[in-house]
A and B are shown apart, each in its own frame.
Chain A
Amino acid sequence: MTTPHTTWHADDDLLAAYVAGELDPIGGASVEQHLTRCAECRVRIRPLVDVPALDRTWLAIRDTVQSPVLPLPIRVARRLGLPEPTSVLLAATASLRTAWLASAVVALAFAVLAAAWSSDGVIAPFLLVAPLIPVLGVAAAYGPHEDPLESLVVTAPYGRTRLILLRTLAVLASALPVAVPLGFLLPGPVWLAVAWLGPALALVPVLLALASFVGPRAAGATVAIGWSAVVLGSLRPLPATWPVEATQQVVYLGLAALAGVVLYVRTRHDRQIGAVL
């Protein structure tokens, strides 16, 4: 609706007094209400305020707005002491985003519920899913060497191998606060909550070693299928905790060592200038 004062403008003296806080309350309120409606007077007040402070604030805004927002899990890690450049590198990893970790929580929660609600406490779903979370997370954390996305990583000083190992560690670290607390809710002995770590810490090097031959996606699928076969195959004939019992854990340790040797040998013989993975 039209107002009678659209032709009135605040002159510079009035604006200067307003900025300096020297106007009486009504004058001040009047100028304020006018400014919300008048672009011209908003321009005229510009040179009268603290311009250097405005410029400084703009620089801070620009930095905040241009730099991408870090995903929540990375922000948490940052508060816990993660170095700033590392957080930028990890932020680009899909498997460190909230969505991924939330899905992991949901999957594990279902596994725990299955164990709690079944009459004989079937823990197989948990034993199946828990080690695969870091495995699939690592497989999703990088692309094969020939990927257009990876071509810059290969030729950068930081180093592709170093980046992949960084992401692997980060994925493993992020799986722990997700899986261990849920594991404590399982029926059965308490050590089950961390028993899954044995296969997890073995399957990840196996994944990396395999990925150096066939790429991370194929390697991830192979490892997932292999582990599923172990857990599901032992379901009927053997006790529920068989996949993570002591003997098996030693076997997993051996597998991890073997995978490490394979990776080491490949690195020595590789002509790809340090990008064996």
Chain B
Amino acid sequence: MIIRRIAPILILFVLASCSSRQSLFVVLPNADGSSGAVTIETDQKSVLLDHPYAAGEVRKGVAAPVQVDQTQVQQIFGNALAAQPVLPSHFVLYFEKDSDVLTPASKRQYESVFDDIKRRPVYEVEVIGHTDTMGTQPHNQQLSMSRAEMIRDRLVHDGINPKSISVAGRGSLDEAVKTADQVTEPRNRRVEITVR
């Protein structure tokens, strides 16, 4: 008798738990509108999400595609998205031949590096120096380090916290443009700066 009375309630309860969503996954567009892909892997099934706003959910341990629009994303994920840090930036500054003096164009671009750092509440700056393949390896190692240190010193002089800057020199190991040995190449005489 009691069973009869609570059976519908039990069925409702089980139905509700069967059909309730355990997790939701949504691919978002990159700044340029493109997107990469993610795969939801469960014991039962895998679901590939490979375009902006492609979404999948897991119910009862099983993954399946689902329709989600921009408004729903904002409703569910608005707080998480609002907490997103300023995205990391990447800069390349170029140098005169066999020297730690910036080219005129890169001297101007230094200002945008500095501005980018200043707009962040906290920051970490990585400066990595490089050379072309002209000259000996020890010389280029030294030169790549001098280039990185020159940028660091300039940033510190302009008020950036030295503790938040790391420097390294890679000699001619990581060429931006592959060349033979003993070749002068303006695009390889550079520092790569990451600000995050």
Query: Are A and B bound to each other?
Result: no
Q: Which residues of A contact B (CB under 8 A)?
A: none
Please give the residue numbers on chain B whose beta carbons come within 8 Å of chain A beta carbons, in ascending order: none
